[in-house]
A and B are shown apart, each in its own frame.
Chain A
């Protein structure tokens, strides 16, 4: 009896997590799949017709915004990678005793709400605001120069808002690199560059993978930055899903769009994992 209970213990311990997963992930996603295959409208009701017309509409009508979101998410992720890697490297190898303080500083902006942070960016970048106002009156910038309401502002906002999610996983991976391994590389006559390229970089790739995963997905789906910092022609797919759901109450199209986005992102991530040479994608994600 005791042995049975002991064998069941890990499963029982995992039970809350499974229940959580079932209630807050499996059921909603199954319900959303079902809604995405209905047709109708709010007043006359939605019928389960298993028609894929919503997917056709989602892709046909909104491919511009979908592609734009992928491009914005992709560019933002690349910029974050370029910014985050040296930052994480420096903290991990040169941070010394102050490592935890640097990490805290990195996370400090997170104590302010996401939307508020984005609004303050809008304030900072205002056409005649504290940054550009003085530059314009000094004649260093043309009077009609502006950053707000352009794709630069939206991508900049995405980078700013998601950067720590890129730094942290890379930092964790680099922090785990055993200095003796690097020393061994030097002992074997590797130059600094070669030691980095052939030892440190490969060992940090799981961190890069996790970082890209944690930034590319939310950055691509984000509705806030485009809404607050963007102008005409910067609408992202997250904004469209919000409009379809809240304004148009077109739940089927909103669900179909969400699924399409999810599918595109998943395919992208699998391709990316393969390109990193990872045998098993899920294994890499779990590392």
Chain B
């Protein structure tokens, strides 16, 4: 092979006429013009206002139970034996198809959005999404069915006050919580000897190259803001600038090894990173498996998020979906769920139920359950809640874009 600039063939190619003729070029242009004609209208905006009560009543009037419901959820969010769902099937005669198909809000929304926009059903009656950007888009675009609260008596009776009427979905118009969890710091106790207290540990040069941060813009922005002493939910664009600059410096100083999604938990338990931003329940599940990982909420505060159940537009079995959503708010069912998934339950009565159960157990089982009941990360006290913040909420699409690009420049630069 010749060097490019001295190659006779290359020079010939540069100076003589191309194999691609002008006619070919026109042909290509013709094709793209056809493509433009196909979709020249662009993508229509679909932004919707909150529904009127009469509309909601109109939707639900005459809707009946069909004997079937399809529940799309995240992995590790239901006991292996599917106990709560089996009981529901026995009590109601409704067949539940349970799918673990949601692994990330953004990619789930990215895949569902074109389908929902085209008015096609997703094939799911219940989906679970975190309060955040994508859930807000689902609401704004009118992709969700407004819930009929007359059919949610267990939710009304048993949900804790903190889980009703949340800021991200006023009056629980579209959603009721499935479970909550915290974003804190996960660390490997084999490498990190002195317990971590402050969020500043993530910025400590002592751990250079051994710190994991989250790739999600919301998550990482929260931690930048908290490190600056700003409450994320009250932050302004000026605060974001400062937080992004701080996170950029953290990266340039070589402190961050990598920006993780769900795979941070493997990295920290293997020791690829020694400490990382992490989610509470993941860490507890690893602890139960005997891995040397610990979790804490920094003294400056952490964040709390909620995964919510909702009914997507076009769902075939909305009444059955409501019945199942409500069923999960029976305290004994919620207790069974909490014991397995190790996240924060929206049903406060679960704590007493589990205490009663622990009293009847012996040995290790008893100890494990008691430790769980006392854990502030599964049953947070008022003081714990006071330290927990919610997410940044950009108000316009332009602001949203600015926010995303600011923090993506850090995580994907």
Contacts and interface: CB of A to CB of B under 8 A. Distances in A.
Contacts, number: 148
A: interface residue count bin:
35 or more
Contacts of A67: none
B270 A128 contact: yes
A260 interface: no
Interface string A113-136: 000000000000011110000000
Given A34-B39, A38-B42, A243-B412, A249 B113 contact: yes
A233 B1 contact: no
Contacts of B110: 245-247, 249
Contact of A278 (B9, B106, B258): B9
Contact of A271 (B1, B10, B41, B107): B10
A209 B259 CA distance: 37
B43 A45 contact: yes
B389 interface: no
Contact of A274 (B13, B39, B106): B13
B412 A27 contact: no
A64 B412 CA distance: 10
Nearest to B209: A144
B140 A43 contact: yes
A160 B32 CA distance: 37
A169 B45 CA distance: 48
Contact of B251 (A44, A127, A232): A232
B114 to A, nearest CB: 9
A251 B42 CA distance: 11
A83 interface: no
Contacts of B34: 30
Mostly, the A contact residues are: mixed
A44 B36 CA distance: 20
Given A42-B137, A144-B209, A251-B43, A235 B412 contact: yes
A214 interface: no
B53 interface: no
Interface string B234-274: 00000000000000000100001111000100000011100
CB-CB nearest 10 A-B residue pairs = A30-B35, A45-B45, A246-B110, A277-B9, A274-B13, A247-B106, A46-B43, A41-B397, A44-B45, A231-B258
25 contacts: A27-B38, A31-B35, A38-B43, A40-B45, A43-B47, A43-B397, A44-B47, A46-B42, A126-B270, A144-B209, A146-B272, A231-B257, A231-B258, A232-B259, A232-B413, A235-B412, A240-B412, A247-B107, A249-B110, A274-B9, A274-B10, A274-B14, A275-B9, A275-B10, A277-B7
